[in-house]
C-alpha cells in the first residue's frame, strides 16, 4: 500500500521499529513487555509511521524527533486496537490471536492503557503543540468509538457513520502527519494541507476497510471476514445496500432475523451484500475521498513524498475495487 522506495525512508522506518520495541519494554515486568509487544511483533503495515515520515519530507526529515513522532502514533494506534478487539470480541488481528483472545479482556485493556502511557512519555520532548495534537486525536478516537457503540439514535445514519469514521480512523492519520511535519519544522500552511489530505484519506481508508469486510477473505485481510456485519455494524456499504436496489428487501429481512453467522443463512446475507448496488456505491465513495485527498496535496510542492502520498490514495481505491 504505502511502500518505501527511498532508502532513507527504509532506514527511518527501521529506526522507528527499533524505538517501538524499546518503548514497550517494561523493566522488571517481562509479562507486560510480552503482552505489549505482541501486536508489534505480529507485523502490520506501519502506515501511520510512514505517513509521519512522508509528512516530515516537507521540512527537515533528518531532525531526531521525526522518528519519535512516527513511533508515538503507532503506539497509540496499536493501543486502540487492543481496546477495539476487546469491544469487538475479536479473535484474530494481524494474522495472530488478538491480545484478548490470548490473555483475556482485562489484560488486553490494561496493556492498551500501558501503550497509551508509553506514547505520552515518548511525546513529551515533541513539545506543547504535539502533545495538544495527541490529546485531540485521542479524544476523537474515544468519541468515534463511543458514537459507534451507542449508534445513530434518531440522527441520520449515514451522517452518523461518516462522523464515526472520521473520528475513529482519520483522527490518527491527521495526528501522524501533524506530528511528523511538526517534528521536521514544516511550515504551518503545509501542515494544514497535509492534515486535510490525512482527514480525507483516513475516511477513505476506513470505508475501504468496510468494503473489504464484505468482499475479502480472512487470509487477505488478516481478520475474520464479515466481522462487522456479524457485529451488527451498519457500515456505509450496508447502509447503502439497505437503501434500495437489488436484494435490498431480502437483506433487510435477513439482518432483522440475525442471519449473520457462519451458517448457510449468514453466507446468503454476505452474498446479498456482495451483489448489492450498495457495495458499488461505497467503492465510489472511497474514490471520492481519494480525489479529495489528492486535491489537498496540490497545495504542497511537487516531490517524491507528495507522489508517494498521492499513490497511497490511488492504491486505496484499487484495493476497494479488488
Ligand atoms: C478499529 O475499527 C478501531 C479503531 C479505528 C479505533 C478504536 C478506538 C478505541 C477503542 C478508543 C479507545 C482508544 C484508546 C487508545 C484509549 P474497526 O473495528 O472498524 O476495524 P477493525 O476491522 O480493524 O477491527
Ligand atoms: Mg474492530
**What pLDDT score does 175 carry?**
98
C-beta separation of 69 from 56 below 8 A: yes
Residues with CB under 5 A from ligand 2 (ion): 84, 88
Of 238, 239, 229, the closest CA to residue 260 belongs to: 229
pLDDT digits (tens, 9 = 90+) for 25-84: 999 999 999 999 999 999 889 999 999 999 999 999 999 999 999 999 999 999 999 999
Residues 6+ apart with CB under 8 A from 123: 68, 72, 130, 131, 134, 179
Cα gap 244→259, rounded to integer Å: 19
Ligand 1, residues 85, 150, 166, 168: which to mutate, most atoms within 8 A of Cβ?
A: 168
The pLDDT-based confidence of 310 (bands split at 50, 70, 90) is very high
Of 89, 36, 279, 70, the closest CA to residue 175 belongs to: 70
More confident residue, 264 or 98: 98
Q: Which atom of ligand 1 is nearest to the CA of 87?
A: 10
- What percentage of the chain reaches a pLDDT higher than 90? 79
Cα gap 315→208, rounded to integer Å: 11
Query: Measured from the CB, is residue 50 less than 6 Å from ligand 1?
Result: no
Query: Measured from the CB, is residue 141 less than 6 Å from ligand 1?
Result: yes
The average pLDDT across 275-288 equals 95
Burial 110-143 (b: 16+ CB within 10 A, else e): ebbebbbebbbebbeebeeebbebbeebbebbee
CA of 299 to the centre of ligand 2 (A): 34
The average pLDDT across 92-116 equals 96
Quick check: helix, strand or coil at residue 163?
helix
**What pLDDT score does 1 carry?**
55
Cα gap 89→86, rounded to integer Å: 5
C-beta separation of 234 from 256 below 8 A: no
Query: Measured from the CB, is residue 15 less than 6 Å from ligand 1?
Result: no
**What pLDDT score does 232 carry?**
81
Which ligand sits closest to the CA of 218?
1
First vs last C-alpha separation in the chain: 13
CATH no. for 1-147? 1.10.600.10
Q: Which three cell numbers stand for residue 207?
A: 470505508
Q: Which atom of ligand 1 is nearest to the CA of 85?
A: 24
**What pLDDT score does 223 carry?**
63
Closest C-alpha residue for ligand 1 atom 17: 84
pLDDT digits (tens, 9 = 90+) for 231-274: 888 899 999 999 988 888 999 998 888 888 778 888 888 899 99
CATH number of this structure's domain 187-322, picked from the four choices 1.10.600.10, 2.60.120.10, 3.90.1150.10, 3.30.750.24: 1.10.600.10
Q: Which atom of ligand 1 is nearest to the CA of 112?
A: 15
The average pLDDT across 289-302 equals 98
Which ligand sits closest to the CA of 137?
1
Cα gap 82→255, rounded to integer Å: 28
- Domain boundaries of the chain, sorted by first residue: 1-147, 187-322
Report the sign of the C-alpha dihedral through residues 195, 201, 203, 205, in that order: negative
Whole-number average pLDDT of the chain: 93
Are both 1-147 and 187-322 of the same fold?
A: yes
Ligand 1, residues 78, 84, 207: which to mutate, most atoms within 8 A of Cβ?
A: 84
Helix axes 188-215, 157-165, angle to 10 degrees: 120
Of 113, 112, 110, 86, the closest CA to residue 98 belongs to: 86
Query: Measured from the CB, is residue 269 less than 6 Å from ligand 1?
Result: no
CA of 82 to the centre of ligand 1 (A): 8
pLDDT digits (tens, 9 = 90+) for 210-230: 999 999 776 666 666 788 888
Closest C-alpha residue for ligand 1 atom 13: 80
Cell 527499533, residue located: 18
Query: Measured from the CB, is residue 223 less than 6 Å from ligand 1?
Result: yes
Q: From residue 250, give the alpha-carbon distance in Å to each of 102, 110, 226, 262, 270.
A: 38, 42, 18, 18, 12
Which ligand sits closest to the CA of 207?
1
C-beta separation of 214 from 237 below 8 A: yes
**What pLDDT score does 93 carry?**
92
The average pLDDT across 124-142 equals 96
DSSP assigned state of 168: I
**What pLDDT score does 222 carry?**
61
Query: Measured from the CB, is residue 145 less than 6 Å from ligand 1?
Result: yes
Amino acid at each position: 500500500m504505502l511502500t518505501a522506495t527511498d532508502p532513507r525512508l527504509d532506514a527511518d522506518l527501521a529506526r522507528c521499529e527499533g524505538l517501538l520495541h524499546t518503548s514497550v519494554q517494561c523493566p522488571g515486568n517481562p509479562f507486560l513487555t510480552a503482552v505489549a509487544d505482541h501486536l508489534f511483533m505480529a507485523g502490520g503495515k506501519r502506515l501511520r509511521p510512514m505517513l509521519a515520515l512522508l509528512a516530515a519530507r516537507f521540512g527537515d526529515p533528518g531532525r531526531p524527533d521525526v522518528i519519535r513522532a512516527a513511533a508515538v502514533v503507532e503506539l497509540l494506534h496499536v493501543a486502540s486496537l487492543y481496546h477495539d478487539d476487546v469491544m469487538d470480541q475479536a479473535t484474530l488481528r494481524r494474522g495472530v490471536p488478538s491480545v484478548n483472545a490470548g490473555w483475556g479482556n482485562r489484560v488486553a485493556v490494561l496493556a492498551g492503557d500501558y501503550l497509551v502511557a508509553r506514547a505520552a512519555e515518548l511525546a513529551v520532548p515533541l513539545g506543547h503543540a504535539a502533545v495538544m495534537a495527541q490529546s485531540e486525536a485521542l479524544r476523537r478516537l474515544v468519541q468515534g468509538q463511543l458514537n459507534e457503540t451507542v449508534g445513530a439514535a434518531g440522527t441520520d445514519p449515514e451522517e452518523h457513520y461518516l462522523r464515526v469514521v472520521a473520528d475513529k480512523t482519520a483522527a490518527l492519520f491527521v495526528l501522524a502527519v501533524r506530528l511528523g511535519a511538526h517534528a521536521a519544522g514544516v511550515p504551518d500552511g503545509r501542515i494544514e494541507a497535509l492534515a486535510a489530505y490525512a482527514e480525507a484519506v483516513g475516511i477513505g481508508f476506513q470505508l475501504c476497510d468496510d468494503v473489504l469486510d464484505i468482499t475479502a477473505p480472512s487470509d487477505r485481510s488478516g481478520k475474520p471476514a464479515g466481522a462487522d456485519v456479524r457485529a451488527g455494524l451498519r457500515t456505509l456499504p450496508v447502509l447503502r445496500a439497505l437503501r434500495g436496489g437489488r436484494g435490498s428487501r431480502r437483506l433487510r429481512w435477513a439482518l432483522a432475523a440475525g442471519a449473520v453467522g457462519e451458517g448457510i443463512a449468514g453466507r446468503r446475507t454476505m452474498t446479498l451484500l456482495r451483489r448489492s448496488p450498495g457495495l458499488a456505491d461505497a467503492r465510489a465513495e472511497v474514490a471520492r475521498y481519494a480525489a479529495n485527498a489528492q486535491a489537498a496535496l496540490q497545495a504542497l510542492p511537487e516531490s517524491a513524498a507528495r507522489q508517494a502520498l498521492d499513490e497511497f490514495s490511488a492504491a486505496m481505491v484499487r484495493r476497494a475495487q479488488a
